[in-house]
Amino acid sequence: MSKILIVAEHLNGKLNSSTARCVTCAGELKPEAVDVLVLADAPDAVAAEAAKIDGVSKVLTVANPANAHALAAAYAPQIAAVAKNGYTHLFAPSTTFGKDVMPRVAALLGVAQVSDVMKVIDAHTFQRPIYAGNAIVTVSAPADQTLVATVRTASYAAAANGASDAPVEALNLAVDLPAHTRFVGLAQDKTDRPDLQSASRVVSGGRGVGSAENFAVIFKLADKLGAAVGASRAAVDAGYVPSDLQVGQTGKIIAPDLYVAIGISGAIQHLTGIKDAGTIVAINKDGEAPIFEIADFGLVGDLFKIIPELEQALG
């Protein structure tokens, strides 16, 4: 039977929803146990959140001042040490966090990593996207080795909170941590809008918006809908918005219930980032734009006329 360890992603004492999405993926293996590992300087609050997730068997915590910030160099040896305690599978989200730490863990364990798992076939066979999502490949990993994988969180819904809390167990690890890496700082925008990667609604603007000043109409509509704001690479490259709002192959892979694409033509790199979205609404003056091929609803016309009409209809 499979015994799965999931590395929790968290920031500022809050558990990221990507962890609950990994739990959903792990459940497809019908495992004996799904444990969550929380590394932090003060892990109690994050552990309490993780313990509420339905399907979690146990939460393991490692309290260490070196874990105050998610440094892959410090996290990896500790994760590898815990993974050796009988775990057959080791999962983390395929986010910036997971992509940073998991290759190091795989190297320490002497195994290859399976990246961007989007479907479980069996305990050691998975599907993952390649060629910017244009093709899906089935990969198999050796059954006699610990399987290290990152989970494409856009492909899985977050597991809900259960009726009872899983037990929490504190670990004491005797692991030598490298000192060649130190935390300098974290720069992030302050916003009251939902997080782009976990939001249920996203409004994105593209080059068709025309300028950074015009992007105000995107922000206004997003606020009206209680949505996060995204952008195409073209809009980011043009300097309309910062790169942390970029959606697509080289940006964020998202799967909101509602995705509104405004002034976005629909390059394949962008479509890769929204392929798992629920309902896609496209607004573009070019009726031949590729975005309309995948949109559930399409409006052809001037976005600066259509958006005010939408806002008026929303009340």
Rounded-to-integer distance, Cα 44 and Cα 170, Å:
9
Q: Provide the pLDDT for residue 181.
A: 86
Residues 103/96, Cβ–Cβ less than 8 Å = no
- In terms of Cβ atoms closer than 10 Å to its own Cβ (0-12, 13-18, 19+), residue 163 is exposed
Mean pLDDT of 228-242: 95
Q: Provide the pLDDT for residue 188.
A: 67
Is 71 contained in some domain? yes
Q: How far is CA 264 from the centre of its chain?
A: 22
Assess whether pLDDT exceeds 90 at residue 276: no
The reply to whether 205 and 166 lie within a common domain is no
The reply to whether 140 and 21 lie within a common domain is yes
The reply to whether 165 and 89 lie within a common domain is yes
The reply to whether 153 and 255 lie within a common domain is no
The reply to whether 140 and 213 lie within a common domain is no
Assess whether pLDDT exceeds 80 at residue 64: yes
The reply to whether 254 and 134 lie within a common domain is no
Is 127 contained in some domain? yes
**Of residues 131 and 36, which shows the higher confidence score?**
36
Rounded-to-integer distance, Cα 238 and Cα 133, Å:
25
The reply to whether 309 and 237 lie within a common domain is yes
pLDDT tens-digit readout, 20-53 = 999 999 999 999 999 999 999 999 999 999 999 9
Sign of CA dihedral 27, 31, 33, 35: negative
Share the mean pLDDT of the chain: 93
- In terms of Cβ atoms closer than 10 Å to its own Cβ (0-12, 13-18, 19+), residue 199 is buried
Rounded-to-integer distance, Cα 120 and Cα 27, Å:
10
Is 144 contained in some domain? yes
The reply to whether 233 and 276 lie within a common domain is yes
Residues 135/145, Cβ–Cβ less than 8 Å = no
Assess whether pLDDT exceeds 90 at residue 162: no
The reply to whether 273 and 137 lie within a common domain is no
Q: Which of 170, 192, 221 is the C-terminal boundary of a domain?
A: 170
Name 164's Cβ contacts closer than 8 Å, sequence gap at least 6: none
Query: pLDDT confidence of 192, banded at 50, 70, 90?
Result: confident
Assess whether pLDDT exceeds 90 at residue 131: no
Is 270 contained in some domain? yes
Looking up residue 232, the CATH number of its domain turns out to be 3.40.50.1220
**pTM, two decimal places:** 0.83
The reply to whether 17 and 155 lie within a common domain is yes
- In terms of Cβ atoms closer than 10 Å to its own Cβ (0-12, 13-18, 19+), residue 225 is middle
Looking up residue 91, the CATH number of its domain turns out to be 3.40.50.620
The reply to whether 160 and 291 lie within a common domain is no
Assess whether pLDDT exceeds 90 at residue 307: yes
Q: Which of 147, 170, 193 is the C-terminal boundary of a domain?
A: 170
Domain count, the chain: 2
| Helix extents (H) in the chain | 18-27, 44-51, 72-83, 96-109, 216-225, 233-237, 268-272, 291-294, 303-314
Assess whether pLDDT exceeds 80 at residue 133: no
Assess whether pLDDT exceeds 90 at residue 90: yes
Is 196 contained in some domain? no
Q: Provide the pLDDT for residue 97.
A: 94
Q: Provide the pLDDT for residue 189.
A: 66
Residue 99: which domain range?
Answer: 3-170
Say what percent of the chain tops pLDDT 70.
99
Q: Which of 129, 154, 170 is the C-terminal boundary of a domain?
A: 170
Is 183 contained in some domain? no
Is 259 contained in some domain? yes
Is 182 contained in some domain? no
Mean pLDDT of 183-211: 87
The reply to whether 28 and 161 lie within a common domain is yes
